[in-house]
Amino acid sequence: MNEQTGTPAAHPVVNHRMLAMLRAVAAGRGRVSCSSEPDLFIDEVSCGDQFAAHALAHQGLVRPARPGRPGELVPAILTPKGQAVVAARRQPKAA
């Protein structure tokens, strides 16, 4: 977030842990709770860093694959923005 305006940052802030979460979701291993503060589950286990999980959702990188009842767990998918983050991290660094 831009601290002065409160608007989302142009480029998402993703650390190594968050990138691993994105890769797990991309692999079809993620589920998300239907909530304003969605919790992320990988391989049916709650992620230990829910702050990071919430950040991925709020940055628009992960979303539920379908609507659900409040609190229901549904498959998680990457948004196009999330797919771009994962793809960019796969690119070899230019020398």
What is the distance, to the nearest Å, from the Cα of residue 43 to the centroid of all Cα atoms in its chain?
A: 15
Residues 6+ apart with CB under 8 A from 81: 12, 59, 60, 61
Specify the pTM: 0.81
pLDDT category at 17 given cuts 50, 70, 90 is: very high
Q: Taking residues 39-49, report their average pLDDT.
A: 93
Indicate whether 95 pLDDT > 60.
no
Residue 11's pLDDT is 72
Q: Per-residue confidence at 1, pLDDT binned at 50, 70, 90?
A: very low
Q: Is the dihedral of CA 71, 73, 75, 81 positive or negative?
A: positive
